Amino acid sequence: MTDNAALYKYVSIDGLKRILGGSVRFTQPGAFNDPFELLPELVIRKDHQDTGVSINFDLLATRRIPPVGEIENISDEYTSSDLTSRNIVKDLNKAIGIFCVSKSPNSLLMWSHYADQYSGAVIEFDGSHEFFNGQIDIEYREARQKKDLDSYFLEPVPLAEICVKSIDWKYEKEVRIIRKLSECLDTKGKDQRGFPVFVQNMPPSCIKTVALGERTAIPHQREIYSLVRNTEIGLSLSALDNNGYTFRREIIKYSGPLSLKIGPTVSPRTAHIFSHLDSDLGEMARFMIEKHPASIIVNNIA
């Protein structure tokens, strides 16, 4: 049973460590992998000059119902302007950052695409936390959105109205948190495509659980356990389920701090996290690895 307020982020181990360290990136729209990001088919009059335009966007407003400025068919007096729409996104790249999460807790495609081919993790957030105020659900459509440029000048445009993507992306069930870059910290670093990296601090109370991937390396399992063992964050390890195309979550640590009464959970799947320890826990883990029949298929043991 999933929590309706929960939000999820599929990340690499490096990305997980940054977020556990309290830092999340707010990414410019042009830095995303979808080249159609915030790029509706912008419709202008043919006699309109393709010069720079300044649009006033409202980052927190919800979509207007019925939609304002959307058209289905272009008349002879109008044409689509790729240059104008790209110039608008160029301006947005200098002004806003987006933090993307998902409503899907266990997407096979997202595990592969964003969590380092099942070697990363899925972070579960408390979507009711104030950090996530202003959530925008992505709208998925068969046809590309058409917007009349003239409608952009009537009043501030809710940015939510152009958070529209092709239905090909529907599996992501994406939710966005958008902030002004002026409210973020410029790290002075740049990503692989040359975009400046802006971050905000995330309170630890935002994070509920972390699920490590089926292929997460043992050293990384141990490192992440050490980072969360004295926190409120729950930790599990994903394992191929016996039935269907699903994963089961093998608990390593329940939410809340460890204690003498509530310690870590050891199974054939999780024993390697503790097998190096010189303690009763380590001894139990080593015994399980050696004696349990399921241990030969865990973590590629020959």
Coil, strand or helix at 128: coil
Give the DSSP H/E element, type plus range, for residue 222: helix 218-228
44 touches 146 (CB < 8 A): no
Q: At a CB cut-off of 8 Å and minimum separation 6, what does 24 contact? A: 18, 99, 199, 200, 202
d(CA 44, CA 65): 23
Per-residue pLDDT of 127-146, as tens digits, reads 999 999 999 999 999 999 99
Per-residue pLDDT of 65-124, as tens digits, reads 988 889 888 888 888 888 888 889 999 999 999 999 999 999 999 999 999 999 999 999
- Buried/exposed code over 135-146 (b: 16+ C-beta within 10 A; e: otherwise): ebebbbeeeebb
pLDDT band at 179 (very low <50, low <70, confident <90, very high): very high
Q: Given this model, what pLDDT does residue 277 score?
A: 94
Q: How far is CA 151 from the centre of its chain?
A: 31
Residues making up the chain, counted from first to last: 302
Q: Given this model, what pLDDT does residue 45 score?
A: 81
Per-residue pLDDT of 185-214, as tens digits, reads 999 999 999 999 999 999 999 999 999 999
Per-residue pLDDT of 224-283, as tens digits, reads 999 999 999 999 999 888 889 999 899 999 988 776 567 798 998 899 999 999 999 999
Task: Please spell the DSSP secondary structure of 48-103, one letter per residue.
Answer: S--------EESSPPPPSS-SSB-SS--TTEEE-HHHHHHHHHHHHTTEEEEEEES
- Most confidently predicted of 16-20, 32-36, 80-84: 16-20
Q: Who has greater pLDDT, 184 or 2?
A: 184
Q: Is the pLDDT of residue 49 over 70?
A: no
Would you state the structure tokens that stand for residue 278, as one six-digit string? 């010189």
DSSP class of residue 152 equals G
69 touches 152 (CB < 8 A): yes
d(CA 78, CA 12): 45
